[in-house]
Structure 1
Amino acid sequence: MKRIWDRLSVDIALLTVACVWGSSYLAAKELTAVTSVPTILAWRFLIASVCLGILWLWRVRRIPGRAEMWTGILLGLTQSAVLFLETFGVAHTQASNAGLIISLTVIFTPLLDALATRRWLPPSFFVAAVISVVGVALLVTVDGFRSPSIGDFLMLGAAAVRAVHVTLLGALTANKPYSSITVTLIQALVCTLLAILLDPLGVLSSAAAFSPTAWLNIVYLGLACSVFAFLVQLWAVRRTSASRASLLMGTEPIWAVAAGIWLAGDTFGWIGALGAALIVAACFAGQRIEARARAARNNAADSLVPAAILASHVGKA
């Protein structure tokens, strides 16, 4: 019974993170109506930086080395690029569209990794990728075909840059004795500094101009979507399989659509609804195909080790 409850609590935690991230597009969209994108990000990550700083003092209290510092700075720059594209994009498209298009990161990241490592994915993965692209083309319709908005293009760019960020995250931190809290804190500080430099007057004037609703959205983005989501994700992924975590986290676009429809009144024509379904289905399928291909490669590599040892003994005999 305890094992079932432990697994259920992890699943609920990961679904909560996906739900929080899915709803972040609506909160960001509401804020773009009252202030600039740099101001939103400056306050969001200032709040996140303070909370992560307190956590760093409590749990880490170790000055990062040069390599760890530069890793955090580089990841902070790529994370900033993702967030600026996302927030500018959500200002010019529906929150539900934004959440769906950004989910294409699930398709872009394995493609980028395959190009970097020259380990090609099965043909079925590329079928899923094509279906996801068709889904985006259908999504950017209302009751008929129309040209995509600038927001749709910005969200597509954000998905591509996020794939680069995720790839760098793995490449730069794998097998390194870096503190996750320290690296994340440095990223948040870089995002804060860049946002303030882009609109210092806006950041200062907004402190008194924000309504209680705006402050609530800012605090939600800073605490729930940044600090809470990171900590819960870190706790949960250490207690379940990577494939299960990815599957649960992959429900983010579903929550984005739900928030957009129920809270913001977003609408889809039947063609757009078909596109949304194709995106979600293709991303799930692509994720599962990539996970199976990676597991097969790992099993093949493990099977080669005993064979090599046996061959070496035969040669000596």
Structure 2
Amino acid sequence: MPNARRTDGVLLALAVVWGSSYLTAKTATDALPVLVVLFLRYAIGALVCLVALRGLGPLTRDEKRSGALLGLTQAAVLVLETYGVARTSAGNAGLIISLTLVLTPVLDRRRLPARFFLAVGACVVGVGLLVSDNGLRAPGAGDLLMLAAAVVRAGHVVLVGRLTTGRAVRPFQLTAVQTAVGAALFLVPAAPGLPALARTGAITWAELVYLALGCGLCAFLAQTWAVQRTSATRASLLLGTEPVWALLVGVGLGGERLTALAVLGAALIVSGTYWAQSVERAHRAVSSAEVRDTVLRRTGTGFSEAR
């Protein structure tokens, strides 16, 4: 029981850290250009990885190839997220990006029951209410960028599964390649804004380090450690609280305000996401059981015929 509580605590802390990343990124981009924030977020992580990799042996070919491709898709996600959060509220950003959880099974081309799409519909209605402010209106540029980020992030998650399943790919090494690729991608575009670092205060530097290490490397390693010690269902439930923390941090620390419609929209997004996750898990469990039963029947038939 103490070990289970410790694992749950790590997962919940991870959800809080990721939820807080949206306000942190928003305040960092208020002080520095978006591209500079992105470059430093990658560069700080890449430097730490470079030091850590010295005693871990050479990278494999799969780690280099997969890491390079995933570095490109991850960079696309962070570009959309960072530009998006700079143009909307941190609460909106965290809630909208949670749609990744319902978009991933769709992009993975899984056959899903109708109830799943009802849950997705609830999420979509929730987004509409969330961005409505005091009356229904079209989503702002930041909201649309966060929607695009959710789609690209879902594609990134699917790609991670395709590139790592059944291959001897080590998580830390894969992350190291991704951070190196991201740093290289943003170096030239960020170069014109780098002189602004001379006027950057300690608070902004702390935010950059927090984004790079707290919300990046350390969070990834903590997730890997915790998921290995609990069920996927329990992990997803605890990590699924991320948008709630993003909203609480945005309102509590960022001074963001919520209208009644926005509160209703937030509730629909969170409940719709959890509903979709539960439907998808149940469907996956039934499908796995059916496949297993089919294999057993065929094996049994073949054995009888052989006799």
TM-score tier after normalising by the smaller chain length: over 0.9
Of 266, 270, 275 in structure 1, the residue corresponding to residue 256 of structure 2 is: 266
Distance 1:141 1:199 in 2: 34
Q: CA deviation at 1:135?
A: 0.3
Confirm or deny that 1:6 pairs with 2:18.
Answer: no
Summarize the alignment of residues 245-260 of structure 1 with structure 2, pairs less than 5 Å apart.
245-260=235-250
Of 156, 161, 164 in structure 1, the residue corresponding to residue 147 of structure 2 is: 156
Q: Find the counterpart in structure 2 of residue 85 from structure 1.
A: 80
Q: CA deviation at 1:128?
A: 0.1
Distance 2:57 2:175 in 1: 14
Q: CA deviation at 1:145?
A: 1.7
Distance 2:47 2:99 in 1: 31
Q: Secondary structure at the match of 1:78?
A: helix
Distance 1:240 1:97 in 2: 30
Of 92, 96, 104 in structure 1, the residue corresponding to residue 91 of structure 2 is: 96
Confirm or deny that 1:224 pairs with 2:205.
Answer: no
Q: Find the counterpart in structure 1 of residue 24 from structure 2.
A: 27
Q: Secondary structure at the match of 2:253?
A: helix
TM-score (norm 1): 0.94
Q: Find the counterpart in structure 1 of residue 204 from structure 2.
A: 214
Confirm or deny that 1:197 pairs with 2:193.
Answer: no
Q: Secondary structure at the match of 1:302?
A: helix
Task: Give the root-mean-square deviation of aligned CA atoms.
Answer: 1.1
Contact 1:10 1:240 (8 Å CA) reproduced? yes
Q: Find the counterpart in structure 1 of residue 113 from structure 2.
A: 122
- 1:85-144 CA distances to partner (integer Å, 9 max, x unpaired)? 00000010000000000000001001111x2xxx41111100000000000000002222
Contact 1:144 1:269 (8 Å CA) reproduced? no
Q: Find the counterpart in structure 2 of residue 280 from structure 1.
A: 270
Q: CA deviation at 1:316?
A: 2.2
Contact 1:73 1:186 (8 Å CA) reproduced? yes
Q: Find the counterpart in structure 2 of residue 48 from structure 1.
A: 45
Distance 1:174 1:86 in 2: 27
Q: Find the counterpart in structure 2 of residue 38 from structure 1.
A: 35
TM-score (norm 2): 0.97
Contact 2:96 2:150 (8 Å CA) reproduced? yes
Q: CA deviation at 1:296?
A: 1.2
Q: Find the counterpart in structure 2 of residue 112 from structure 1.
A: 107
Q: Secondary structure at the match of 1:63?
A: coil
Q: Secondary structure at the match of 2:115?
A: helix
Percent sequence identity is 43
- 1:25-66 CA distances to partner (integer Å, 9 max, x unpaired)? 0011001112111100111111111222233224x222321x
Q: Find the counterpart in structure 1 of residue 59 from structure 2.
A: 63
Distance 2:29 2:182 in 1: 18
Amino acid at match of 1:262: G
Q: CA deviation at 1:20?
A: 0.5
Amino acid at match of 1:200: A
Divergent runs of 4+, >3 A: none
Structure 2: gaps of 5 or more residues = none
Amino acid at match of 1:76: G
- 1:283-315 CA distances to partner (integer Å, 9 max, x unpaired)? 011111111111111111122222111111222
Distance 2:289 2:53 in 1: 38
Q: CA deviation at 1:210?
A: 1.0
Q: Secondary structure at the match of 1:177?
A: coil
Q: Secondary structure at the match of 1:225?
A: helix
Confirm or deny that 1:135 pairs with 2:130.
Answer: no
Amino acid at match of 1:45: Y
Confirm or deny that 1:168 pairs with 2:168.
Answer: no
Structure 1: gaps of 5 or more residues = none
Contact 1:80 1:191 (8 Å CA) reproduced? yes
Amino acid at match of 1:22: G
Distance 1:263 1:74 in 2: 36
Moved more, 141-150 or 122-131: 141-150
Moved more, 192-201 or 253-262: 192-201
Q: Find the counterpart in structure 2 of residue 182 from structure 1.
A: 173
